[in-house]
Structure 1
Amino acid sequence: MNDVTVKVIVRSPPPVIWKIWSNFPESPLWDTDVRHCELNGPFQPGTQGKCVLNNGLKMPLKLEAVKPQESYRNSAKLLWINLEFDHRLRRLSPNETQVIHSAKISGPLSFLYRGLMRKALTVAMTTALNNLKALAELRADVACIPDGEKSETHLHLV
């Protein structure tokens, strides 16, 4: 059972979203709770890394499962809480994709923080997905512009 699930429909094909997801150093572009994020190896199961949140907390993480262009799951630890994040893509049409993020909260003291964590994760994940949607749609639009017509202004995020 997931504690939090957030969904959004993005006017972008899955490969555009996948490229954003799998580039962990770019995470702060769309996940505004993250200051810095890195993986210590390739985007595949078993690779470990960490994210530094804007509040300064360091969150170690590990990629648990990866299905390229479809989904990935990572585990993370935040204080005394274990988190499992599931990221899924569901193609609705050639240029429309449903993005689903879910989180499970566990650990010995999770019962103390579950309600607070659910609220905080719902807000954070909703904001992150809305930002991901905007970024993916911008990049999908830019990908459709013929190379000769692309300019610097099209490539900068607002």
Structure 2
Amino acid sequence: MSRRHLALGIPLLLLVVAAVLAVLGSLRDSHIVTVTRVTEADPDVMWELWSDVPARTEWDRGLQYIDIDGPFQAGTSGTVKVEGQDPVRYEIVEVTPKVSFTDRFQSLLWTHTDWHHTIEHRADGRYEVTWRLETRGPLSLISLPVLKNIFGEEVPTAVTEFVQLAESRSRP
């Protein structure tokens, strides 16, 4: 193989690999991180903490601020500012009161990250509270290692602080 063919072949191969990753990333959700904690916190208190969007800075220390442009329901959007980053827009895409909600953050070109939050009742009377982050879009598989690195450390801490605050507000 000549140098000219090699010089053309390598960029073409990289382009093909990037195209395959873009197609795969657009067809399925890619898991970033899931964090679950078991708690005796009152689900009404947990829901209040989630739905009081500007107060999330109490338990998510990485947030500089977060606002919401309307009621806590599907279709409402807002802005979040993480320390050291530019503000990012988000949209609430699903709400089942006192059970779950999902907010979506646009990240890279035609790529988004969904934050699923759920409260599930357990047979022993306690609850499982879960954060599950997934990404989808043409650049999701390329950005996945970076997202796992960032959120793999931050999300467990935020969930623990959320549960601790909910438990402290649930006690008589």
TM-score bracket, shorter-length normalisation:
0.7 to 0.9
Amino acid at match of 1:86: H
Aligned equivalents of 1:27 and 1:93: distance in 2? Answer: 29
Residue 50 in 1 paired to residue 114 in 2? no
Gaps of 5+ in 2: 1-28
Amino acid at match of 2:95: V
Amino acid at match of 2:164: A
Task: Measure how far apart 1:95 and its partner are.
Answer: 6.2
Q: How many residues align?
A: 142
CA deviations on 1:80-137 (whole Å, 9 max, x unpaired) are 4411010000122686321010011223222222112112112111010000011001
Amino acid at match of 1:61: Y
Gaps of 5+ in 1: 145-158
Change over 3 Å in CA distance of 1:19–1:76 after alignment to 2: same
Aligned equivalents of 1:103 and 1:139: distance in 2? Answer: 26
More helix by percentage: 2
Residue 99 in 1 paired to residue 135 in 2? no
Aligned equivalents of 1:94 and 1:13: distance in 2? Answer: 14
Secondary structure, counterpart of 2:138 in structure 1: coil
More strand by percentage: 1
Residue number in structure 1 paired with 2:102 = 73
> CA contact under 8 A between 2:106 and 2:112: conserved in structure 1?
yes
Task: Measure how far apart 1:59 and its partner are.
Answer: 1.6
Give the one of 89, 106, 125 matched to 1:60: 89
Aligned equivalents of 1:36 and 1:79: distance in 2? Answer: 21
Residue number in structure 2 paired with 1:29 = 58
Secondary structure, counterpart of 1:3 in structure 2: strand
Residue number in structure 2 paired with 1:127 = 157
> CA contact under 8 A between 1:6 and 1:122: conserved in structure 2?
no
Amino acid at match of 2:68: L
> CA contact under 8 A between 1:33 and 1:53: conserved in structure 2?
yes
Amino acid at match of 1:105: T
CA deviations on 1:10-44 (whole Å, 9 max, x unpaired) are 22121110000000101111111111011100011
Residue 39 in 1 paired to residue 68 in 2? yes
Residue 137 in 1 paired to residue 150 in 2? no
Aligned equivalents of 2:164 and 2:101: distance in 1? Answer: 21
Residue number in structure 2 paired with 1:86 = 116
Aligned equivalents of 1:79 and 1:50: distance in 2? Answer: 16
Moved more, 22-31 or 87-96: 87-96
> CA contact under 8 A between 1:13 and 1:91: conserved in structure 2?
no
Q: Over alpha carbons, which structure has the higher Rg?
A: 2
